């Protein structure tokens, strides 16, 4: 059994002199680079000050050719240079205040090291290529405040799932303890690129998609045999699906 709550102490440790501090997080995803700037009050309360987002083609390159193209690399350099300029204006210049994380689109690229080097040389920004375990840890930390606010019964199971462009993260909890985590190579963009690779007619597209989804869901069911579980769904694709399927749905920002 993994106690991820024991792993976040360094992330939240703050001395008495660090009452309010500004930080920035940059997420290099499959289809966009997003930045959030926030103030941390004390050691827990977080107030988001600003968010920025710019589309890029990292996932398209990696999931079709296995490498990040030169054009896409330079697009990323341009985006991160703008973000760096913004952080300089805000006085967020200490590397300890900035965390840049890349996931599957960079992790699976054969030229990922050259990509990271180019970004650092051009912008001075260091990129952490998060492995699957680190992504699961970050996902857990993201829902931890919600779990503390509305703690499930100790014996109850909760599934936390985040559907991204390149992968789907699944964490199974009993109470607030992690009993299983798994990364499935099923994401919205990756699936779309698979369909293009098959050159299947449009009429077959839905059938192929459902086949891949059913296969992944069957794997998830092996990890959760209980009939009744709570589901926490994360990510832009899940929010889009909720808006389309549930007319009265409102985003939960807890």
Same CATH topology for 13-130 and 133-245: the answer is yes
Q: Which helix (H) or strand (E) holds 71?
A: helix 70-90
> Considering just the CA atoms, what is the radius of gyration of the chain in Å?
19
Residues 6+ away with beta carbon under 8 Å from 233:
161, 162, 163, 242
Cβ count within 10 A of residue 54: 15
Q: In the numeric block, which tokens belong to residue 81? A: 């240079």
Q: Does pTM surpass 0.85?
A: no
Asked whether residue 26 carries a pLDDT value surpassing 60, the answer given is yes
Pairing outcome for strands 20-28 and 98-102: parallel
pLDDT for 71-99, tens place per residue?
Answer: 999 999 999 999 999 999 999 999 999 99
Intra-chain end-to-end CA distance of the chain, in Å? 26
Asked whether residue 254 carries a pLDDT value surpassing 60, the answer given is no
Higher pLDDT, 35 or 172: 35
For the chain, domain boundaries? 13-130, 133-245
| Mean pLDDT (whole number) for 21-48 | 90
Rounded to whole angstroms, the Cα distance separating 146 from 149 reads 5
Rounded to whole angstroms, the Cα distance separating 231 from 242 reads 13
Q: Which long-range contacts (CB under 8 A, 24 or more apart) does 181-184 make?
A: 181/2, 181/133, 181/136, 181/140, 182/219, 182/220, 182/223, 183/132, 183/135, 183/136, 184/216, 184/219, 184/220
Quickly list DSSP for 189-230. Answer: HHHHHHHHHHT--HHHHHHHHHHHHHHHHHHHHHH---S--E
pLDDT given at position 55: 94
CATH number of 133-245: 3.30.420.150
Which of these ranges, 4-13, 95-104, 168-177, 227-236, has the smallest mean pLDDT? 4-13
Indicate the average pLDDT of the chain.
Answer: 83
Cβ count within 10 A of residue 105: 29
CA angle centred on 241, ends 32 and 101, rounded to 5°: 30
Q: In the numeric block, which tokens belong to residue 129? A: 């290529």
CATH number of 13-130: 3.30.420.40
Residues 6+ away with beta carbon under 8 Å from 18:
40
pLDDT given at position 125: 95
């Amino acid at each position: 059994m993994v106690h991820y709550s024991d792993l976040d102490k360094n992330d939240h440790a703050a001395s008495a002199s660090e009452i309010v501090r500004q930080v920035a997080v940059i997420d290099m995803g499959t289809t966009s680079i997003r930045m959030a700037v926030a103030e941390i009050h004390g050691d827990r309360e977080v107030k988001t000050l600003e968010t920025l987002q710019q589309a890029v083609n990292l996932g398209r390159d990696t999931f079709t050719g296995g490498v990040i193209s030169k054009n896409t690399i330079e697009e990323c350099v341009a985006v991160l240079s703008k973000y760096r300029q913004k952080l300089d204006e805000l006085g967020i210049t200490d590397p300890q205040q900035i965390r840049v994380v890349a996931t599957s689109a960079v992790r699976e690229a054969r030229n990922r090291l050259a990509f990271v080097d180019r970004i650092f040389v051009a912008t001075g920004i260091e990129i952490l290529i998060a492995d699957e375990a680190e992504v699961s840890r970050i996902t857990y930390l993201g829902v931890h405040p919600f779990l503390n606010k509305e703690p499930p019964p100790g014996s109850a199971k909760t599934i936390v799932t985040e559907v991204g462009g390149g992968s789907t993260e699944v964490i199974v909890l009993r109470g607030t303890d992690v009993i299983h985590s798994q990364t499935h190579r099923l994401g919205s963009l990756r699936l779309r690129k698979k369909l293009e690779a098959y050159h299947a007619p449009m009429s077959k597209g839905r059938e192929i998609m459902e086949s891949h989804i059913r296969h992944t869901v069957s794997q998830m069911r092996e990890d959760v045999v209980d009939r009744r579980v709570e589901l926490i769904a994360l990510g832009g694709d899940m929010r889009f699906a909720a808006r389309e399927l549930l007319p009265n749905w409102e985003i939960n920002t807890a």
